[in-house]
Amino acid sequence: MKMRNKKVYNFPVIIEKDETGYYFARVPALKSCYTQAKTLPELYKRVREVILLCLEVEEQLFGKIPERNEFVGIQNLEIVR
């Protein structure tokens, strides 16, 4: 059996909590990479699973893992309307 070399990836994940108490996570570097859960431990588990799935899909569709942009930060902007 041939073993593939493992590579370590680090992805910024944006986590938000809605008014019903559910947590939502998005991985901006990967297309359509998001999930949700009722608790943070469950969310972390699901984020890892969805990242692995998205990496597999990217590799199958495009033959490579996309280069990701450098994460700069998140800002809260107050908008008065």
Confidence category of residue 2, pLDDT binned at 50, 70, 90: low
Phi, psi angle pair for 55, to nearest 5°:
-65, -40
Q: What rounded mean pLDDT belongs to the chain?
A: 88
Cα 27 off chain centre by: 3
Dihedral over alpha carbons 30, 32, 33, 39 (to 10 degrees): 150
How much is the average pLDDT of 38-48? Answer: 97
The H or E element containing residue 37 is strand 34-37
Confidence category of residue 74, pLDDT binned at 50, 70, 90: confident
pTM: 0.77
d(CA 65, CA 58): 6
